[in-house]
Amino acid sequence: MLICHRPTEFAFASVISTCGGDGDCGRQVHALALKSCGGTDEAWNVYEAMGFRNLVSWNFMITGFQVCGCGNRALEIFSQMHFGGIRFDRATLVNIFSCLCGMGDGLECCFQLQCLTTKTGFISEIEVATGLVKAYSSLGGEVSDCYRIFLELDGRQDVVSWTGIIAVFAEWGPEEAFLFQQFLRECLAPDRHMFSIVLKACAGLATERHALTVQSHVLKVGFEDDIVLANALIHTCARCGSVALSKQAFDKMGSRDIVSWNSMLKAYAMHGQGKEALQLFSRMDAQPDGATFVALISACSHAGMVEKGAKIFEAMSNNHGIVPQLDHYACMVDILGQAGRIYEAKELIDKMPMEPDSMVWCALLGGCRKHGETKFAKLAAVKLKELDPNNSLGYVVMSNIFSTNGRFNEARLIRREMEGKTVRKEPGFSWIEVGNQVHEFASGGQQHLEKEAMCARLEELVRQLKDLGYVPQISLALHDIENEHKEEQLYYHSEKMALVFALMNAGSICCSGNIIKIMKNIRICIDCHNYMKLTSELVNMEIVVRDSNHFHHFKAKVCSCNDY
């Protein structure tokens, strides 16, 4: 009873002294005390004074320290055992592996422990191997190492170890997570844990039909009452382009937790539906947390509701007692910066009680890029270079600003610096689902089989758009080349190629009547944004484009982001 309610160390001490600190009762109370108090010094002292230990109580101690996040102390105990010649078992190892997750020098420890685990033969125990795989992946270890450990279980894998390895692959590249199909081929029955991981992989893939397939699986097996699964479903549907499906999943839930509400709010945020997000927030029956406000503020941001966002930011600390964290600041800087209120954004950064991180500087850079502001862009680019040297955004924005202003030499210098450091701008590509297939387009679209037909259709479309008032934003092209080439370069942006292909195949577009859904890995440029707005009017269709992490809904010349 006591133990379930996490009593104070003092309470434990008295219970233990009543038990006499000996025999089964005392030992068990002790071990649980340590686990429950999370390995505080007091609990530990009382334990030491008792002077009775066996393997199980050692293990309890390790769990105790592990539960409270004192991984180092758990490791100390383990080495005490190991070097003191005390036998350890698989429970010991499993506990130690969960300690390692997220520890600073955990990867190094992982290697050493893997050796020990192999030497002692515990590696062939399914729980130990699964624990090790998780530790490796959470520490940024090699996927191939994880896979090898998994394979060495050699035919003895179960749902749990499969889930573990699929989670690893899902993190690494969502396509590979379709190892899930092999899992099914081996005739193992997926359970709720498995489904939630596979849903997450679908979210990464961002293709509607995979999500729908898994969703129908979930319904078939009858897990729709599982909160975690429903939450995953809300998230996945949103990421795959359908808030409507998210909403459906949300509405159907019998009971909801904070993650459910936040996921739905984030779904709205992702799709630029600020009003819907605020409405949902007003009828939220759970205690909002930090994530709630990240969702709300970014919902305002993606819908261009600047004042509302600022109010919410204020209310968060004033009325809800939540101290703004880095991500809240990043959202606010983003919203202000996008509105062209760069000075205010910079002021907010100066007022931050903590060091701004790369996300915050990225947000400022984004604002500078949009409004051609040079001074703060330089500052932000320098900071970003320091904090996240592999991030190319600073270089790209600076070089764009220079070439927009016709300062091509400086732009070129930056490009060169970037190449010298082997920082690469992520190549942009887009994909759409047509029929049962996913078609991918790189900028230029050269690889595609129907290239010629596409070019013809593209030219026709551009002509029609120009009649509607489309003016290509040549200044966006990066190099100082001839104007007509700049125009050409613009027309071959991957999302434009995808759009043309979609129009050519309008009859067989997946899942959705009059909606074209284009997914893209990086942000959409202003020119494409314009182009999509006008095309939606021209062909009288809704066009949805997902860029790095949110969706633009274009309908009758208007975008859901209000041009944010």
Q: Which residues bind DNA (CB under 7 A)?
A: 24, 27-28, 31, 54-57, 59-60, 63, 89-92, 94-95, 98, 125-127, 130-131, 134, 158-164, 167, 191-197, 200, 203, 223, 226-229, 231-232, 235, 257-260, 262-263, 266, 270, 291, 295, 548-549
**Comparison of 167 and 303: residue with beta carbon closer to DNA:** 167
Helix H or strand E segment including 559: strand 558-559
CA distance 99 to 95: 6
Type of residue found at 323: V
Strands 515-520 and 542-546 come out as parallel
As a dihedral over the C-alpha atoms of residue 96, residue 99, residue 103, residue 109, rounded to 10 degrees, the angle is 0
CA distance 60 to 35: 6
Residue 339 near residue 306 (C-beta atoms within 8 A): yes
CA distance 85 to 423: 50
- Residue 238 Cβ, how far from DNA at the closest point, in Å? 7
CA distance 244 to 263: 13
- Residue 5 Cβ, how far from DNA at the closest point, in Å? 18
**Comparison of 165 and 541: residue with beta carbon closer to DNA:** 165
- Residue 446 Cβ, how far from DNA at the closest point, in Å? 27
All residues at 6 or more sequence positions from 401 whose CB lies less than 8 Å from its CB, including other chains:
368, 369, 372, 374, 377
CA distance 520 to 546: 6
Type of residue found at 144: S
- Residue 189 Cβ, how far from DNA at the closest point, in Å? 10
- Write the DSSP symbol of residue 432: E
- Residue 452 Cβ, how far from DNA at the closest point, in Å? 35
CA distance 366 to 372: 10
CA distance 432 to 208: 10
* Token pair listed for 15: 């219970």
**Comparison of 63 and 536: residue with beta carbon closer to DNA:** 63
Token pair 């129908």 in the structure block, residue: 216
**Comparison of 42 and 125: residue with beta carbon closer to DNA:** 125
**Comparison of 524 and 541: residue with beta carbon closer to DNA:** 524
**Comparison of 189 and 449: residue with beta carbon closer to DNA:** 189
Q: Is 404 exposed, middle or buried (0-12, 13-18, 19+ CB in 10 A)?
A: middle
CA distance 481 to 48: 76
| Count of CA atoms in the C-beta half-sphere (13 A) of 15 | 21
- Residue 242 Cβ, how far from DNA at the closest point, in Å? 14
- Residue 361 Cβ, how far from DNA at the closest point, in Å? 14
- Residue 491 Cβ, how far from DNA at the closest point, in Å? 26
CA distance 536 to 512: 15
Residue 303 near residue 561 (C-beta atoms within 8 A): yes
**Comparison of 525 and 539: residue with beta carbon closer to DNA:** 525
- Residue 232 Cβ, how far from DNA at the closest point, in Å? 4
Alpha helices, H only, 287-439: 290-302, 306-320, 326-338, 342-351, 358-371, 375-387, 393-404, 408-420
**Comparison of 56 and 539: residue with beta carbon closer to DNA:** 56
CA distance 67 to 307: 43
CA distance 200 to 263: 13
Q: At what angle do helices 126-138 and 143-151 cross, to 10 degrees?
A: 180
**Comparison of 24 and 482: residue with beta carbon closer to DNA:** 24
- Residue 370 Cβ, how far from DNA at the closest point, in Å? 17
Provide the sign of the torsion angle of the four alpha carbons 341, 344, 348, 350, taken in this order. Answer: positive
**Comparison of 57 and 494: residue with beta carbon closer to DNA:** 57
Q: What are phi and psi of 412, to 5 degrees?
A: -65, -40
**Comparison of 156 and 451: residue with beta carbon closer to DNA:** 156
- Residue 501 Cβ, how far from DNA at the closest point, in Å? 25
**Comparison of 97 and 402: residue with beta carbon closer to DNA:** 97
- Residue 234 Cβ, how far from DNA at the closest point, in Å? 8
- Residue 26 Cβ, how far from DNA at the closest point, in Å? 10
Residue 132 near residue 142 (C-beta atoms within 8 A): no
* Token pair listed for 482: 């001839």
Closest to 124 in 3D by CA, of 152, 166, 87, 164: 152
- Residue 251 Cβ, how far from DNA at the closest point, in Å? 17
**Comparison of 59 and 560: residue with beta carbon closer to DNA:** 59
**Comparison of 93 and 454: residue with beta carbon closer to DNA:** 93
